[in-house]
Structure 1
Amino acid sequence: MSKTVLITGASSGIGEATAKCFLQKGWNVAATMRSPTKAGDWATAENVICPQLDLTQADTISAAIHETLERFGQIDVLVNNAGYALMGPLEGVTPEQLHLQFQTNFFGLVTVIQTILPVLRQQGGGTIVNVASIGGRLAFPLISPYHATKWAVEGLSESLRYEVRRFGIQVKIIEPGGIKTDFVDRSTNWVSHPDYTVMVDRMKRFSKRVDASLPGPERVARTIYRAAIDRSGRLRYSPHGEIFFWLHALLPDRIWRSLIETMMLGQNK
């Protein structure tokens, strides 16, 4: 019997690449997305469904999981991938913007996990793969709301693994570095504040410049697949991100800060 994966945010980027990867490996794929009409031709395969799922609407989460179980009978792996980045100075972020950032990147993820855990426990096991970021352990300028959600995902995941291990459930964290998707344009919302205009403009130019030279999402997708089938108990997987963790650990904070400010903001003060 083929195994089944449920993926959030599968219409593009990492989510789409992950859906294709599992599909190529012969899995049943529930490629959930806010707008199923955006699914590509790959989603017409016999063992693919595209349930509508919006992380800000709990009823769509329950419905997507129910539809997957009705079609495939079980869910072996959950990949929490959906999310977006709220970028800009914290001083310019409204309470509503911050709430939506957490609702999408964190609280929605929690609801998916809480909804699927009874299913996994009844089945006798499964794997939860949470896509965080190198920004879940490191922080860069003008991304504080996004960082806050990804640090929250890291802490939740590390604690959750102790709770669910006795039920045969594993928890994995994926920490991608920069990858070339349309994330900068499609999944980034910028906020503004008049006193930070120069800094924001520099960061936007840096983001655009770097995005053009980044690798695609396929390696991250392969890493997610490897984590999903890895029964070793390993928690973290960091495609493209290892060098940042090493540099951050080895360099004195003053030098690290200077490097980041010079590289991303074009200043060193």
Structure 2
Amino acid sequence: MRPETVLITGCSSGIGRATAEAFLDDGWTVYATARDTDDIADLGEREGCKTTTLDVTDDSDVRNVVNRMLRQDGRIDCLVNNAGYAQFGPTEEVDTEEVRQQFEVNVYGPHRLIKAVLPHMREAGEGTVVNLSSVIGRISIPGGGAYAGSKFAVEAMTDALRWEVEGHGIDAVLIEPGPVQTKFGDRASAEADEAERTGAYDWFWTLFEDTEVLAGGGPGAIEPAEVADRILDAANLTDPPARMSVGPSAGLLVKTRHLPDSIRDLAIRFARKRLA
């Protein structure tokens, strides 16, 4: 039999690259994708890895990579929707077009891929869809409305999908990392730098610029390989859990969502006063 195949988006660095390497080490045939294949050329040198261009906002790119998998390997066993970025900034200061683009990549992109692979997984009677969410997909934070909103949407979409495809032998799993040591924070900072600041939220920008926590670094941040291992587990398990949190910070932060809103509001007020 041919090896199982996996399609992974956003493989140029960080979690996506580590995930491609983890699946290759496990003997899968990996379709590693990125907007620029020069960024993943070295992955293509590994046996079992096929690289291809994929912009998750482009319908033709999605069709092309799915058709290539079916033409060359005749199967699609796992889809890992990893590609995404974070748009941080107070709600008032984030342009509506930037919010639209955030959802275009983080929500509509995964939806495009899911729609493209599901008919083939249903025909095969098996498959796994792994969607990268975040602890921010369970609990929002100041300045994280656009990003958290996109991840809340991914959580809701995946929950619905899990129930819809269960009868077809397909699993849908959410991966919820806490802070991860990747270049993710670099783009988050770059996107935030473009925001037009009103001066009304200086306390937030002080927090954002003086810490790395909101941008994906700081204390408790884990390595991308740790997230990749959980993604591989989700693909290999016969009955994977609906959600898999990754890292000590993730589990702790998710638990805070069970606190009364008044308690969480007090914590935010305390932070704001300290920085005002």
Range class of TM-score, shorter chain: over 0.9
Deviation at 1:212, TM superposition (A): 4.5
Deviation at 1:74, TM superposition (A): 1.1
Question: For the Cα contact (< 8 Å) 1:129–1:228, is it kept in 2?
Answer: yes
Taking the aligned partners of 2:216 and 2:55, their CA distance within structure 1 comes to 30
Taking the aligned partners of 1:175 and 1:127, their CA distance within structure 2 comes to 16
User: 1:193 aligns to what?
Assistant: 197
Deviation at 1:201, TM superposition (A): 3.0
Letter in 1 for 2:50: I
Question: For the Cα contact (< 8 Å) 2:69–2:75, is it kept in 1?
Answer: yes
Aligned residues: 267
Instruction: Please give the TM-score of this superposition, normalised by the length of structure 2.
Output: 0.90
Corresponding residue to 1:235 among 233, 242, 261: 242
Greater displacement, 183-192 / 60-69 = 183-192
Corresponding residue to 1:211 among 213, 217, 237: 217
SS in 1 for 2:274: coil
Corresponding residue to 1:258 among 258, 266, 273: 266
Question: For the Cα contact (< 8 Å) 1:85–1:187, is it kept in 2?
Answer: yes
Letter in 2 for 1:244: L
2:76 counterpart of 1:68: no
1:126-179 Cα shifts (integer Å, max 9, x gaps) = 000000111111111101000111000000100111111111111000001111
Question: For the Cα contact (< 8 Å) 1:91–1:193, is it kept in 2?
Answer: no
Greater displacement, 112-121 / 208-217 = 208-217
Corresponding residue to 1:223 among 230, 240, 244: 230
Give the superposed CA RMSD.
2.0
What are the within-5 Å matches in structure 2 for residues 91-102 of structure 1? Answer: 91-102=92-103
1:27-86 Cα shifts (integer Å, max 9, x gaps) = 100011111110152331121111111111111111111122223221100000000011
Letter in 1 for 2:254: F
What are the within-5 Å matches in structure 2 for residues 143-158 of structure 1? Answer: 143-158=144-159
Corresponding residue to 2:207 among 196, 202, 211: 202
User: 1:38 aligns to what?
Assistant: 39
Q: Percent identity?
A: 35
Deviation at 1:193, TM superposition (A): 1.9
1:100-133 Cα shifts (integer Å, max 9, x gaps) = 1110000111011011111111222100000011
User: 2:182 aligns to what?
Assistant: 181
Q: Which runs of 4+ in 1 moved over 4 A?
A: 260-263
Question: For the Cα contact (< 8 Å) 2:181–2:223, is it kept in 1?
Answer: yes
CA pair 163-186 structure 1, distance change in 2 beyond 3 A: same
Question: For the Cα contact (< 8 Å) 1:133–1:150, is it kept in 2?
Answer: yes
Taking the aligned partners of 1:266 and 1:43, their CA distance within structure 2 comes to 51
2:55 counterpart of 1:50: no
